[in-house]
Structure 1
Amino acid sequence: MDMAGSHVTDEQFDRETGAKLIDLKRIFATIRRRQWWIVGAMLVVLALTAIAYVAAPRRFTASAVLALDRRVDELMAGQDTQASLPTDSPTVDTAVQVLTSTRLAEEVVDRLGVSTVARPTGGQPVTTVGARSAAISKVRGGLQVKRTGLSYAITVGFDSTDPQLAASIPNAVVDQYILDQRGDKEGARGREGKLLADRISQLRGQVIQAESAVARYRAATNLIDVQKDSTAVQQEISVLNTQLAGAQADQAAAQARLSALRSSSTQSEASNLLRELRSQQAQLSAQRADLAGRYGSLHPDLAKIERQLADIDRSIAAETSRVRSGAQSDVQVASGRSSAIRSSLSRAEGGLAAGNAASVQLAELQRNADSVRGLYQTLLDRYRQSVAGQGTDQSNAYVISRATVPNSATSPMLTLFAGGGLLAAILAAALLVLVLEFFENGLKSRQDVETELGVPVMGSVPDLKTVPGVSMPRNDPMGPANYLVEHGGSVFGEAFRSIRGALRIGHADQIIRSLAVTSALPGEGKTTTAICLARSAALAGQRVVLVDCDVRRRASSRTMVGQVNSGLTEVLKGEIALDAALIRDTVSGAYILAQGTSKTSDYDLLVAPVMQKLVTDLCNQFDLVVLDTAPVLPLAEARVVAAMADGVLFVTRWRHTPANASRLALDMLGRAGAHVQGAALTLVNMKEQARSGYGDEMMYYNKFKQYYA
């Protein structure tokens, strides 16, 4: 047990230092050991891959390439009513979505015909009700649309079992896409034209109404032009103001003249005629005075002068009256003219105020008319452009290359199937090995036993059926034991000599006089090991007794002596003497204390002190006492009997016994007080162990097999 503890510590140290996290040597050893499973699994997978390749339908792929223009040129200047937007990356992505849409697939199916697209492999037309839906699904399912890098080119491919269909679908898709784009533009232009025509028709009436309202208002308000009218009135007022000032000045002058005429001191200056008359009057008066002074008053010329003065006086009086009347008339005329001008000024000012008020309303009506007229003219221009551009719409996409009928199938690809099949075969083989290793809980080598169980390995017992050159009869329980006797120098016999040597049996310093041979579970070769160990020691010249301690199965008893009436149970009960119960194996010279055939076995006798006394007595008579016990896990008496022996040889079957079961059994033996000396690997497959290249000394059998007889 100290060795086990030391080994576990070393293993922990290795793990802590990170040594060999992946044991490649062990992996390759597992591959060599499982090579036929691996080969079988790979052959099966490769065969299935070949069958799948042969059975897979041949599919053909063809593709057409479509490009989007960065900007579409207009055939007529200004024909588009909307600004042409440059093509960008989102536009290309949108085009990809349109190319894969259900609408376009429906149009392609209608373009090519349902029977052409959805026909089965045999070429017969489809007549079912869901033919169109099936054709649409087929188009969408086989269509492969992708953008070519970061360019404005789009590759449209189709995969089908029919090469003709593989080429016709992409061509139909790109043609239908271009046709739809042109149709969409023409439809949009037609709808725009109809809307414009309807709107123009409505606006025409509104323009007429608005202009009629302006004309009616102009006529009603006697306004021709708002701005010109306002300026004319303002000029008229300015002129009237000037005329009024002049008239008022004339009136004042006339009034002043009238006042002057009324003043006698200034009457002579009233008019030129009056001044002349005054001058003549003065001259005649001077002549009269001269004649009167010279000739007297009776001078005949004085009468003439008097008559002339009288005529001049009358003329002066008449002229004075006339001048006064004229001055008065001038005052009246000037006053009337001022009043008239003032009245005209008042009317002009009133007309200006009314004109201003009317001009505001007229301006509103004019603006409304101008607005309606401008909108009408704009829509009319757009309508004319739309009508002129009909039939000139272009698609913003064009075909770079069209799909051609493929000459060879694109799938199934032989290289892809071969590579995939090989990869699948490797994965399947690896998975199979992992599953086999996962479900194989048994220990495979000396290192596994010492690592997992913590006990030293006394030896590895080969399975004789796997030893090269050995032919064993089937269902012969004594075959291995007899082979040991007949071929003592074989690898099988050497295995038991190794066990005896490890336990120091037959040596001068032999300590183990009684040895319990046990196992965790049934069927691990425990009884065969016990029999062969007893015979090997006996053949070596030792006095050996084999005690069958398995009351229930009597394995060693049935194998070596068959039916006996009295045995171990009867000896323990005192019904028969020990010497009478011992049976000698004539082949090897060993003795066996078998189990009797009595059906009333007392199971508690094996754990009684009398059993311990019997073991002690046998040790005094024999050099080696081999106790063949029952399995440890199912039976409690096996643990007690093992504790009665000097040591225990724990048997575990190669690659069969679960490591957990062996650990549990060793723990139970330790708790029972048994002294486990070591373990023995049994039924080791020599061929697989040698092929694995990993394990124990058996892997080198081919190198030293010539040493064995």
Structure 2
Amino acid sequence: MSVPGMSQPDVDIDLGRLLKAVWDRRNLVLGLTAAAAGLAFLVTAMIDPLYKSETRLLVETREPVYSSDQNPQSAGTALDERAVTSQVEILQSTDLVKQVARELNLSSRVEFDPAANPSAIGDLLVMLGLKKNPLDVPAEERILKEFYSKLSVYVIPGSRVIGIEFSSGDAELAAQVPNALVDAYLAFQSGAKLENNTDASAWLEPEIARLREKVRESEEKVAQYRSQTGLLLVNQQDTIAAKQLSDISTELSRVRAERADSEARAQSVRNALRNGQAVDAVSDVLSSPVVQRLRESEGNVRAQIADLSTTLLDEHPRMKGLRAQLDDVEKQILAEIRKVLSSLESNARVARIREEELTAQLNALKAGSAREGEESVELRSLEREAAAQRDLLETYLGRYREAASRTEPKSLPADARVISRAVPASESHYPKTLAIVGVAAFATFVLASVGVMLAELFSGRALRPSEALLREPELEPSAAVAADDDATEPSVEPEPALELLPVISNVADDFSVEAVAEQLVTDATPVAICVSPEGDEGSAAAVMLARTVAGEGLKTLLIDLTGSACPTDLMAESARLPGLTDLMCGDIAIADSIHPDRLSSAHIIPHGNANARRAMRAIDRLPMVIDALQEVYDLVIVECGSAEAAAVARIARSENGEIILSILRSDLSEVEQILAEFNEQGFHDVLLMTPGMPTGPVDNHSSAA
């Protein structure tokens, strides 16, 4: 029947132990660090230095200062991100690279064609067929491949600036290559514009000649049509017929106005005469000189009549003569008024006749205007065609003159300009000796320290049980022994005097696990009985002791005699493995009770699965088992937990064995009491093991009185 697996107990990592392990092996760590730093320095000293230089180029739309197509607002929209990326590809084009390689004679440099001088090892690999012969590749391709490996062209983010970097073992060459590449690129851009202008000029010349002929033919058609249809212009806009129609219309309007005015004035005079009204208010009558003189004569006669009427009677001859003269003047005035009326009526008749004549002429011109309108439509069509041909000719002429003026490369600036030229570098770009040595030393130091820490972790010496595990209840074998023997509760004995204490046999004032392990290894101790008055915390120290001794290369076995099975939880793969209780009950053989430690090379006999009380009845067999195990293992550690000295005495019979007291936090009085109990059982030499010194001084060489 298989035993179900159980989860492994939680353990804590002892950081102090890890740091102490690194400090103890500081010579190894520092030695490896120094060796790595020296090796890195030698390697960097053997590497040929590389120098890097950079040229920067601003991509922007550029036109000659005399160009009429300059538009600063369109530059930003014309050169977007894709346009700048296209310029990067042009800078890396094979044609430009080949041109620069020829100008700088790069084929003569070993740096750009290392295959031209192959090494003996390379020739051997080629002969064995393990490597392709590099000379099978054309020299130009080899140079281009090496050139591209040293060239870097990139766009600076957020701008239209292109950086051209080049690295070389020669600082001068590292600066010459990007500058030469930029010059070739600018010349390429200007040449492309010049080629465009040349092509445009070659295409425009025959087109201009053809358009001139078309313009001449179109203008001839317009002139012939005007002559045939009589649509001759008297000014820039009007034809003869249109001008005549306009003039007659104006004259007709004037004649009608004169006629109406003459008829109105004649009617006013006629009405005044018919109604017997005074005609002096009529302007035509008043403006007549004869009427004006007659009115003056009438006034003089009336004045004389009025003057003589005061002295003469009406029948007086003088009075009669004056009245006869007055009548004659009035008749003359009336006759003159009739003459004015006749003149006005005559003017009205003449105006009416003139109006009729002009109306007849206007009607005749209107009849001809309809025909002329139809002819004007065709004329305007011919004029539009001629104007379109003329405008196109003028446009072509302007473009041709502009293209003809750009016949020199300098007159066509490239759409880019250099904002920073490369200069020879004063320091090498690679290798950075100080940085490489520092990184190598630091990395080696870290790796060496990590290696030491991992060794401590895998050996288990840097692990300790968690606080939760240490708080678990335990059942000590001493209690089982007491129950088996039906012993009564021991009486409290008085505190022993200091002179009755056994000797603490630590060779130095160091009670750490490492010091105790070193003493056991040095003394070749076969058996160590560990007692942990404080329970599982001391048992965890015993586990660390076993792993530390195993780490020194000794075959180590730990026997779990505790009631809580703390060592089993810390070392065994499962808490249900057969162990000591099964062995004591006779259920298994010794070999079946031994299991490997899961974190070190040590072995363990775990607590077991049989009844503990039954197993304790055969506790007297344990010394024989320990003696048998000494034949196989260099050191057998028996962890008894918080057992009493009397219980320990039942199994500690070996004269070569050691009693180890694992103390963590007990004060001096408790330590003295425990030592007194062991002294009473005949144990006069005790090893003290504790991570820290107990409270109060301890005499390392105290002896019994």
Q: TM-score, normalised by structure 1?
A: 0.49
Q: Which has the larger radius of gyration?
A: 1
Q: TM-score, normalised by structure 2?
A: 0.49
